[in-house]
């Protein structure tokens, strides 16, 4: 069982999309996984994903409507094997509350999978339009495909 957490700011746009995309991909290839997402700002706590994020996911065949925004908690370090952040603000926030080195080793910028070591951020589509949501979706789809491939390779080697 692999446990992966995605983190963004409000947990209503980027990280719920990544969660939905990766959950679907891993289900398709029969890899047992617990995938979740959370945020660092409480403005939208308990809310479903932004309607534009839901619509974009739906267009690609995914239903993310049941997700509810929640905040990161330090116990997440115990529950998850990998914690992917969308940008440097989340990276700083999560590193600030890390309790030990093994917590820190779990955290990485999601785009480092595509652009190793560059620490690039995924654009926050919340301030933009539907086109931005589509761009973010496609980028997250590409990254989640890589995560899925990595896990398939790992499973085949076990």
Q: Is residue 50 annotated as a catalytic residue, yes or no?
A: no
Between 11 and 151, CB nearer to ligand 4NP: 11
* Closest separation in Å from C-beta 59 to ligand 4NP: 18
Please, which residues have CB within 8 angstroms of residue 127's CB and are 6 or more apart in sequence?
A: none
Q: Is residue 14 annotated as a catalytic residue, yes or no?
A: yes
Helix axes 130-157, 51-59, angle to 10 degrees: 60
Between 56 and 148, CB nearer to ligand 4NP: 56
Q: Is residue 124 annotated as a catalytic residue, yes or no?
A: yes
Q: Which of 47, 108, 124, 141 is catalytic?
A: 124
* Closest separation in Å from C-beta 124 to ligand 4NP: 5
Q: What angle do CA 34, 45, 31 make, to 5 degrees?
A: 10
Please, which residues have CB within 8 angstroms of residue 129's CB and are 6 or more apart in sequence?
A: 52
Q: Which of 14, 36, 76, 144 is catalytic?
A: 14
Helix axes 14-28, 51-59, angle to 10 degrees: 30
Between 29 and 71, CB nearer to ligand 4NP: 71
**Which residues are known catalytic residues?**
8, 14, 124
């Amino acid at each position: 069982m692999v446990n992966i957490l995605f983190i963004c700011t409000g947990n209503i746009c980027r990280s719920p999309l990544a969660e939905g995309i990766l959950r679907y991909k891993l289900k398709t290839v029969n890899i047992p996984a617990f995938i979740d997402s959370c945020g660092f700002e409480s403005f939208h706590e308990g809310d479903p994903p932004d309607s534009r994020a839901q619509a974009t996911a739906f267009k690609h065949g995914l239903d993310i409507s049941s997700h509810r925004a929640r905040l990161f908690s330090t116990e997440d370090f115990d529950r998850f094997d990998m914690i992917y952040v969308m940008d440097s603000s989340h990276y700083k926030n999560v590193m600030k509350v890390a309790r030990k080195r093994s917590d820190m080793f779990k955290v990485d910028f999601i785009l480092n999978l595509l652009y190793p070591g560059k620490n690039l951020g995924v654009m926050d589509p919340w301030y933009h339009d539907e086109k931005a949501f589509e761009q973010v979706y496609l980028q997250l789809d590409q990254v989640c495909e890589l995560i899925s491939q990595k896990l398939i390779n790992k499973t085949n080697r076990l």
